[in-house]
Amino acid sequence: MKLLNYTTSYFAGILLLIITVWAGLFYYNMLDEIYDSMDDGLENQKLLVMQKASQNPQVLQQSNFDEGYYKIREISFEQAKHQRDLYLDTLMYMQNEEDFEPVRLLKTVFRQDNKYYEMRVITSMVEEDDLMEDLFFSLLWLYVGLIGSILILNNYLLKRTWQPFYYLLERLQQFKLENYKPLTLKKTPIDEFQLLNQTAEKLVQSNLEAYNSQKNFIQNASHELQTPLAISLNKLELLLESNNLTEDQLNQIAGVMQHLERLTRLNKSLLLLSKIENKQFEPEEKINLNQLLKKLIEDFAGQIEYKEITVNLEAMATCEQTLNPDLATILLLNLFKNATIHNYPGGFIHIQVNENSIVIENSGKAEALDNKQLFTRFSKINSSSSSNGLGLAIVKAIADVYHFRISYSYEQKHVWSIYF
């Protein structure tokens, strides 16, 4: 939900609650005023009737409401002494409406010529159901009008006010560290948005500096390590060619060379992994993965023949994906190499290529691998000293860069699946 709609929904809910409470209070206050006004009118009518009765005794003979708005009957002193003015709501049949309608009634007692009379005076009153209906529809239209006004205000005035925020959001979504372009932000007179723009610019600049520093450090460190490693290996190779070394010395030198070669491979892998995560492989093109797999099988022909592994490439469709050629090769190379190295002599590798997926199945150790540790750095499938534990981590990094999905399962065979 967008910010403006989110705030509007809160305004609508709060406004509905406020109007509902206000409507209840207004209704009861209005009824109280109406009753006060009618009671005052009834009191005035009572006095007028009493005044009229003192001038014309015939008034005391009106015993029903057929001829007017009051009726009078004579009562005893005993009946009269306990009565007080009483205001009541009741119903009376109205000829014009042909139905019973609500009326307000005043029941009172007065004395004239030492006789006591009970008088009832009536007046028409507002029907509460009609009043409630009118009030409900009036408030409903008020509520709709207010919500409509808020929506118009949000979509025109507030939307224009929030333009610098949405522009900054759009620029941040397009921002890429590996392809940096300066942020061009809109000027705004609003202090909070000015502060937000300044903070965003500082944050972007800080991240860019950290990114460039890290990238340069990795490149420099890799380069500086490669040179002494290569020199050390060359000198050890020259030393091995000496004729005055004992067998024990030769074995020790060979062991040192193995560790140096492993360190060289590790250095290259870490540099590659860093470049992948930092998206430093820019050129992309459409790659035919079927042809790339065929080439990899040819490249591994010697090792496949040596281990007597049966390789079957089943192309159900042509799989073409847009990505960096080097990363495409590394992705499939690491998976195929993994299936070859960790296979047993006389095993098999089955590759199925579909339009949007590649599945590699291979024989190997008769137990499932640990899915939680499978793609973590320096996690080894077995204790082979030739592996640096970064092959599958590199595969996962490439998949994440291009939003591919890679999965592993064990079904009496090891199954690696890539979904593009």
- Tell me the pLDDT tens digit for each residue of 386-410: 555 677 888 888 888 888 999 999 9
- Boundary-marking domain end, from 115, 148, 181: 148
Output the CA–CA distances (angstroms, integers) from residue 244 to 16, 247, 249, 296, 420, in the order listed. Answer: 98, 10, 10, 43, 58
Does one domain contain both 369 and 390?
yes
Each residue's pLDDT tens digit, 240-265: 777 777 888 878 888 888 777 777 76
CATH number at 349 reads: 3.30.565.10
Does one domain contain both 323 and 233?
no
The pTM (predicted TM-score) of the whole model is 0.48
Each residue's pLDDT tens digit, 216-238: 776 676 667 777 777 787 877 77
Rounded Cα distance between 137 and 119, Å, is: 40
Q: Is residue 155 part of a domain?
A: no
What average pLDDT score do residues 194-207 get?
Answer: 84
Does one domain contain both 328 and 405?
yes
Rounded Cα distance between 99 and 333, Å, is: 94
Each residue's pLDDT tens digit, 27-78: 788 878 888 888 888 888 888 888 888 888 888 888 787 667 888 888 888 8
Q: For residue 259, give the 3-state DSSP assignment.
A: helix
Q: What is the pLDDT of residue 2?
A: 67
Q: What is the pLDDT of residue 362?
A: 93
Task: Judge whether residue 384 has pLDDT over 60.
Answer: no
Q: What is the pLDDT of residue 380?
A: 61
- Our measurement of the distance from residue 368's CA atom to the centroid of its chain's CA atoms, rounded to an integer in Å, reads 36
Name the domain count of the chain: 3
Q: What is the pLDDT of residue 385?
A: 47
> Which residue range is the domain that position 204 belongs to?
166-280
Q: What is the pLDDT of residue 21?
A: 84
Each residue's pLDDT tens digit, 117-126: 888 988 877 6
Q: Where are the alpha helices (DSSP H) in 69-114?
A: 77-80
Whether 185 and 167 have beta carbons less than 8 Å apart is answered as yes
